[in-house]
Structure 1
Amino acid sequence: MVGKKFTLPKLAIGLVLSLIALAMFIPVINIFARAFSHPDKVHELTGLGVIPKGFSLINFQVVLSNPIVGQAIGNSLFITIVGTCFSLFFTTITAYVLTRKNLVGKTPIMIFLIIIMIFEPGYVQEYFVMKDLHLLDSLWSMVLYRMVNVFYLVIMMRFIEEIPESLMEAAKIDGAGHMRVFVRIVLPLSRIPLLTIGMFYAIAKWNEFFKSSIFLSSPNKTVLQVLLRQFVVERDTSTLVGITELLKNSNVAQLDFNALKAATIVVAMVPILMLYPIILKYYTSGVMEGGVKE
């Protein structure tokens, strides 16, 4: 076995990539450190600090004790979980239909889908569609919004095409219809693409704030990303009803506003970050499956 040769260019590339990784990683850790720092010491934390100054959960207590934040988290979870399930089901079943060899009009359908992917509808048209469907100010507007992504649909089609046709033919000989073939054969054999595309759908649903701010107007229908922007970017503390009274009753004399922002950002980040360790190994194995041929 020949060892890897150490060269100066490899060292330079490694150092550059390490610096880029640190440039992206340190700000995230700094947000966590600021959120967990004690209110009396948080001002001592610099922009490059990664270790909390003291330790306190008061920032999270203030943020999470607000009823609007809890409602927003619940709305975001509903949109993400239900929306991802709907998107996965309809993306997969559409991909199955479009990969059938005897499908009439397959080429015009694919051309139409590609045109939709390239020329996306405008915001005004999407707003009036939601209005005509009576979905404005309803969480279902965000669940159904862009339920099928054409790019993910094409990826799923490629995976389904790799499933041996002999398996489906054997099931049809035994009397199975398309729906049974889809449920019993296609879905179990598409676990890796389902997990991968599901992660992409979940991230998009969780992070969507612009359309949420347009389609959802009631305070009890707001989502966490909209609340995060109002509080962190626009510094609108009126959205967090009750914070002033809570701070007056707190044992802490003053809470740092930047620390409260950091705690809000952490609350918005952690749920979606928890997906990566679970999905990453399946995503990696899925990429490597088609990379080497025997």
Structure 2
Amino acid sequence: MVGKKITVFKLLIGLLLTLLTLTMFVPIVNIFARALSHPDRVNQLKGYDLLPKGFSLINFQVVLGNPIVGKALMNSLFITIVGTCLCIFFTTIAAYVLTRKNLVGKTPIMIFLIIIMIFEPGIVQEYMVMKDLHLLDSLWSMVLYRMINVYYLIIMMRFLEEIPESLLEAARIDGAGHMTLFIRIVMPLARIPLLTIGMFYAIAKWNEFFKSSIFLSSRENTVLQVLLRQFVVERDTSTLVGAANLLKNNNIAQLDFSSLKAATIVIAMIPILMLYPIILKYYTSGVMDGGVKE
């Protein structure tokens, strides 16, 4: 009887999760379908159709044909890749230091970090700091912005505290110092939390547009999310440079603005969508297996 109740409960949970997944999956597929539809047939799409009407890459050619978009895409990739790597390194090394038992002043430091996490500085203070550091209109302002997230730091600390002290002590007996312990033992064992907070950092860096629009003022240093907002929300059609020639060469009467918006959104989604399968495959094995036996 108990088994039947558990089975029914799991079935209901499965159905609920399936419906929740569809609410996110169907709109994404619909955006892809609209972006890939032929401009002359895109008006045939109704509601949440999942298949494109015809097939054409003209929308992507128009958006990516503008050199500003290509430059913004490369800027976003630079900020995301370099920023994520630096965030992971400094968050992990800070967590390693704060989990040492003989650290002097650990409690005041943690109280200070928690206060910072609760009472975040305002945009004026952040802007003045970037100005004093001469980082305004520099990609490094977004790379270095919020290098360490206190919440992710605490997550990493909780994991590092679970590493057996006997494992670290064995390395110390062999003459390993702190950097050797950190690079050769802590970092490999922390693979799962590193990937987890790395994914969080990457998504935050990639999707950040508000601070980018403030710290980065020139078109040369703009990022993809800023252009995405200008085009999709503010209907800035500067990305349509060269569209007339493409339409003429492909015998297309006119472009559909909603399809261009969908193509722009797809371009902004693809890097993050590619990130998830790469990371999720590393969650299949236990990180501490074989590390030490007590």
Q: Same fold (TM over 0.5)?
A: yes
Structure-1 residue corresponding to 2:273: 273
User: Quick one: distance in 2 between partners of 1:97 and 1:110?
Assistant: 12
**Deviations 1:78-97 (Å, cap 9, x if unpaired)?**
00000000000000000000
User: Quick one: distance in 2 between partners of 1:25 and 1:146?
Assistant: 31
Structure-1 residue corresponding to 2:30: 30
Where structure 2 has 5 or more consecutive residues not aligned to the other structure, the ranges are 290-294
The alpha-carbon deviation at position 46 of structure 1 amounts to 1.3
User: Quick one: distance in 2 between partners of 1:130 and 1:286?
Assistant: 42
Structural RMSD (CA): 2.3
3-state SS, counterpart of residue 50 of structure 2: coil
The alpha-carbon deviation at position 19 of structure 1 amounts to 3.3
- Using structure 2 for the length normalisation, give the TM-score: 0.91
1:1-294 matches, within 5 Å, as 4=4, 14-238=14-238, 241-243=241-243, 246-247=246-247, 250-283=250-283
Whether the aligned pair in 2 keeps the contact of 1:35 and 1:262 (CA below 8 Å) is yes
Percent same amino acid among aligned pairs? 81
Whether the aligned pair in 2 keeps the contact of 1:68 and 1:240 (CA below 8 Å) is no
User: Quick one: distance in 2 between partners of 1:30 and 1:54?
Assistant: 14
Do the aligned partners of residues 8 and 162 (structure 1) sit closer, same or farther apart at CA in structure 2, a change above 3 Å counting? closer
The alpha-carbon deviation at position 44 of structure 1 amounts to 0.4
Structure-2 residue corresponding to 1:292: none
User: Quick one: distance in 2 between partners of 1:91 and 1:10?
Assistant: 38
User: Quick one: distance in 1 between partners of 2:241 and 2:137?
Assistant: 20
* One-letter amino acid matched to 1:147: M
- Using structure 1 for the length normalisation, give the TM-score: 0.91
User: Quick one: distance in 1 between partners of 2:114 and 2:286?
Assistant: 25
User: Quick one: distance in 2 between partners of 1:198 and 1:261?
Assistant: 29
**Deviations 1:76-130 (Å, cap 9, x if unpaired)?**
0000000000000000000000000110000000000000011100011001100
User: Quick one: distance in 1 between partners of 2:134 and 2:62?
Assistant: 36
Whether the aligned pair in 1 keeps the contact of 2:189 and 2:288 (CA below 8 Å) is no
The 10-residue stretch of structure 1 (147-156 or 248-257) with the greater mean CA deviation from structure 2? 248-257
Whether the aligned pair in 2 keeps the contact of 1:94 and 1:153 (CA below 8 Å) is yes
Whether the aligned pair in 2 keeps the contact of 1:137 and 1:215 (CA below 8 Å) is yes
Where structure 1 has 5 or more consecutive residues not aligned to the other structure, the ranges are 290-294
Do the aligned partners of residues 184 and 17 (structure 1) sit closer, same or farther apart at CA in structure 2, a change above 3 Å counting? closer
Do the aligned partners of residues 244 and 287 (structure 1) sit closer, same or farther apart at CA in structure 2, a change above 3 Å counting? farther
Structure-1 residue corresponding to 2:292: none
User: Quick one: distance in 1 between partners of 2:10 and 2:151?
Assistant: 35
Do the aligned partners of residues 21 and 145 (structure 1) sit closer, same or farther apart at CA in structure 2, a change above 3 Å counting? same
* One-letter amino acid matched to 2:31: I
**Deviations 1:164-223 (Å, cap 9, x if unpaired)?**
112222222222211111111111111111111101100000000000000001101110
**Deviations 1:4-41 (Å, cap 9, x if unpaired)?**
55887766655544333322221111100000111111
Whether the aligned pair in 2 keeps the contact of 1:66 and 1:242 (CA below 8 Å) is yes
User: Quick one: distance in 1 between partners of 2:78 and 2:50?
Assistant: 33
3-state SS, counterpart of residue 26 of structure 1: helix
**Deviations 1:55-83 (Å, cap 9, x if unpaired)?**
11111111112101110110000000000
3-state SS, counterpart of residue 274 of structure 1: helix
User: Quick one: distance in 1 between partners of 2:35 and 2:100?
Assistant: 53
